[in-house]
Amino acid sequence: MQKLPGGGGKTHRSPGSSGVGMEELSVVPDFVKGLTAVGMESFRVNVYRAQAASVHVLEDTCRQILHQDYDAVVFTSGTEIKVFLQMIPAKMSKADFSKNVKVICYGPYTARCAADYGVKVDFTSPAFGSFQELVAQISIFYDGCL
């Protein structure tokens, strides 16, 4: 990466989360490294904690997916996918999960994480600047499925 003119010496704080009991994906660390690579001084600041839901909550959700109680699962982050897949009961494979519901991802990064974890993605929103855009894109997706 090239150093940016005017960027040298600028200092940034990058808010993020500290994960409780889960490994962090590379999004924020890579962002901080990218800022550093272009000549900016950047520091990570943990402003909140992220923690997986209880096993019981996730088991109930997985059971409902197995019984096809949902039409789709919408993932908005790679961490959501990772934690969800770690909590899937042994009787349910990733293939079962993807077969029983449509998987919708907020944008290309989230879709790439899903693919990396072996989850078939049915729809990736091309507009991911806001959740309102995501809602509109999901509506368009379902209109095309009818």
pLDDT recorded at residue 38: 76
Q: For residue 22, give Cα distances in angstroms to 31, 64, 135.
A: 20, 24, 29
Cα separation of 81 and 110, whole Å?
8
pLDDT recorded at residue 138: 84
pLDDT recorded at residue 141: 83
Task: Evaluate the CA torsion angle 86, 90, 91, 93 in order and state its sign.
Answer: positive
Question: Where are the domains positioned within the chain?
Answer: 11-51, 55-145
Mean pLDDT calculated for residue range 123-131: 83
What's the chain's Rg over C-alpha atoms?
Answer: 18
For 93-122, what is each residue's pLDDT tens digit? 666 667 778 888 988 989 998 999 888 899
pLDDT recorded at residue 88: 73
DSSP notation for 100-123: HSEEEESSHHHHHHHHHTTPPPSE
Mean pLDDT calculated for residue range 27-48: 76
The residue ranking higher by pLDDT, 91 or 80, is: 80
User: What CATH number belongs to 55-145?
Assistant: 3.40.50.10090
Q: In the predicted model, is pLDDT for residue 29 greater than 70?
A: yes
Nearest Cα neighbor of 35 from 3, 81, 71 is 3
pTM recorded for the entire structure:
0.66
